[in-house]
Amino acid sequence: MKVGDPLDPETRVGAIISADHLGKIESHITAAEQSGAKVRSGGGHLESSGFFMSPTIVENVTSSMEIASAEVFGPVVVALTFDDLEEAIGLANATDYGLSASVWSRDIDTAVGVGRGIRAGTVWVNTFMDGTPELPFGGYRQSGVGRELGRNAVKDYTEEKTFHVHTGPRTSWWLPRGA
């Protein structure tokens, strides 16, 4: 995955928002390693003029590790093992957060079934961070209230007004703003 300028169409991972946040991501990884997890790939910041981090895979993670349930907000994939789909769904839902999830499987029916069981605002199947402005975006639980984007988000930028005019038998109409 190319790390770099987000305006470059070949770039898949841009910069981290700040040095402070880059440090938080690295501290999640370090704490996981100290608890027995292993960094399979990546794991550190890249030397550059910005705050870039190598895409990272952390394995041997257990559900008791903070990295398994925290919103890391960095290019980090955390791998947990499970024995059956119910356990996998339980692991995915064992967090205070639920912004997004990604399910990977060769069996689309299995992937969709697991995705339906995961409590997250967006579930991608065999992909991640795809979408269009027409799709609502937002999380469950501590990952936010409401949705950005999508047709319902238009309501955030409009106002309704009720006119009640007494003119005889018919006494009220609803008029959209500007009418």
Cβ–Cβ contacts within 10 Å for residue 23, how many?
Answer: 13
What percent of the chain shows pLDDT beyond 70? 91
| Residue 161, pLDDT score | 76
Cα 124 to Cα 112: distance, rounded to the nearest angstrom: 9
Q: Strand 56-59 and strand 76-78: pairing?
A: parallel
| Residue 62, pLDDT score | 94
In this predicted structure, the answer to whether residue 164 has a pLDDT above a threshold of 80 is no
- Give the global pTM: 0.75
| Residue 50, pLDDT score | 87
| Residue 107, pLDDT score | 96
| Residue 122, pLDDT score | 92
DSSP per-residue codes, 104-140: --S-HHHHHHHHHHS--SEEEES-SS---TTS-B--E
Cα 10 to Cα 28: distance, rounded to the nearest angstrom: 28
42: left (phi over 0), alpha (psi -120 to 50) or beta: left
Q: Which two tokens stand for residue 164?
A: 């009640």
What would the pLDDT profile of 73-116 be if each residue is shown by its tens digit? 999 999 999 999 999 999 999 999 999 999 999 999 999 999 99
Cα 12 to Cα 4: distance, rounded to the nearest angstrom: 8
Instruction: Give the mean model confidence (pLDDT) for residues 61-76.
Output: 93
131: left (phi over 0), alpha (psi -120 to 50) or beta: left
Q: What is the mean pLDDT of the chain?
A: 88
In this predicted structure, the answer to whether residue 173 has a pLDDT above a threshold of 70 is no
In this predicted structure, the answer to whether residue 34 has a pLDDT above a threshold of 90 is yes
Distance from the first to the final alpha carbon of the chain: 51
Longest Cα–Cα distance of the chain, Å, equals: 78
| Residue 169, pLDDT score | 63
| Residue 153, pLDDT score | 78
